[in-house]
Amino acid sequence: MGIEIERKFLVTSDAWRAGAVGEEYCQGYLSQYPNPTVRVRTQGTKAFLTIKGKPSSISRPEFEYEIPFAEAQELQKLCITPLLKKTRYKILDEEMMWEVDEFHDENKGLIIAEIELDHPESSIKRPSWVGEEVTMEPRYANSNLAIHPFTEWMIEDGR
């Protein structure tokens, strides 16, 4: 069984951008919590179907399968959520691979850094541009951002 162990953080500056090259992602959800989350994603010229179970702390079951790109595009038409668009950058810092997601459209302005770990107790050294941890805050889940975009929170929070 596949297990995803991931922590998420807000990004506090543009220091990570130096030399960063991104790839465009477009994803939608065929099923969401409280059921298993089923995501269909295109990234660049590849496509994936991902099934994620209920989180337990920072880990959860995850199964990911590469699928034909054209089939992913058809599956995205069946999604129960609007499609979520972002650019993902991979940043190597202190021998740790960070993924920085810069969101677009209704989530513009939100930038999140994620790190996948081998063990829930693994220690990490945060780069200077990594701020507050939001791993356990559901509103930062991509599946939630698809239906409750970041720009809506800013209005609700009076920002």
Burial of 101 (0-12, 13-18, 19+ CB in 10 A): buried
| Closest to 19 (Cα-Cα) out of 91, 103, 126, 94 | 91
Instruction: Break the chain down into helix, strand, coil percent, rounded to 5.
Output: 20, 45, 35
| 140: CB partners within 8 A, 6+ apart | 8, 112, 134
Residue with tokens 């959520």: 81
The pair of structure tokens assigned to 15 is: 């220091």
Annotated catalytic residue: which of 29, 33, 65, 140?
A: 29
Interatomic CA distance for residues 2 and 36, integer angstroms: 14
Annotated catalytic residue 25: no
Residues with catalytic roles: 29
